[in-house]
Amino acid sequence: RLATEEGITLERQYTYTWCSPSRASLMTGRLPHRLMEQEDHFVPKRIAMLPAILKKAGYATAHVGKWHLGNAHLWQTPESRGFDYSHGFLGSAIDYHTLAAEAGAFPCNGTDAWRMDKPAYGAEGAGTSLHQQNAEIVEVITGHKKKHKGKPLFLYAAIQSMHSPKPEPAFNTALYSEFSESFAVANGLITQADNMLEHAVRALKAEEMWEIGRAHV
């Protein structure tokens, strides 16, 4: 509905075969090949990121979901790169249900769940990653005016759906029971992403931030 009635539909687009360059490009405004030629998964310290620039312009900035733009040093974390608030995972992939870091996705094994620059203790038992990200997105929106009176909001929602690994159990597969398992798993994740987008839009409209946000896109 948003694409056909209020937005635009992309019919052709190009990306890297792995995901970090696209996020790095979005966060810096630079072409991916100038940032991550060696697959090192971090943006150089000398390059300012979008949230840091927007903070200087008076914005409140928040990040929810995947980061994977640096996790080996404190200067690489979301809050060090300009976010007032951050909740999510710093590596490349986590289990949807346990939040455990995928092998090789983080410098060490364990739960990859963070709130700001500290571990989000207890997150691994607080629901799936998507349910937690959905709740955080809505909370950032609904609490914005009270916490940041008069400031516009920049919210970077990098939700996990539909990234690897395969969720077990999967999401919404009953909606696609007549198709193959792989189709059902993939489209179940897309449906979950659509549901999360709907909740975000409803929250923006309830807070009377929807029309203002569209005017600034």
Write the single-letter amino acid at 46: R
Start-to-end C-alpha separation, the chain: 18
Task: Strands of 51-208 (E only): list them.
Answer: 60-66, 85-89, 114-115, 118-119, 153-158
Q: Ramachandran region of residue 110, left (φ > 0), alpha (ψ -120 to 50) or beta?
A: left
Quickly tell me which residue has 């909001």 as its tokens: 153
- 19 in catalytic set: yes
A 10 A CB-CB count for 97 gives 14
Four-CA torsion 28, 63, 137, 93, nearest 10 degrees = 90
For 23, residues 6+ apart whose C-beta sits below 8 A from its C-beta are 66, 68, 69, 158
- 108 in catalytic set: no
DSSP summary character for residue 137: H
Cα–Cα distance list, 196 to 32, 139, 154, 204 (Å): 28, 13, 17, 12
Q: Select which of 68, 87, 144, 163 is catalytic.
A: 68
Active site amino acids: 19, 68
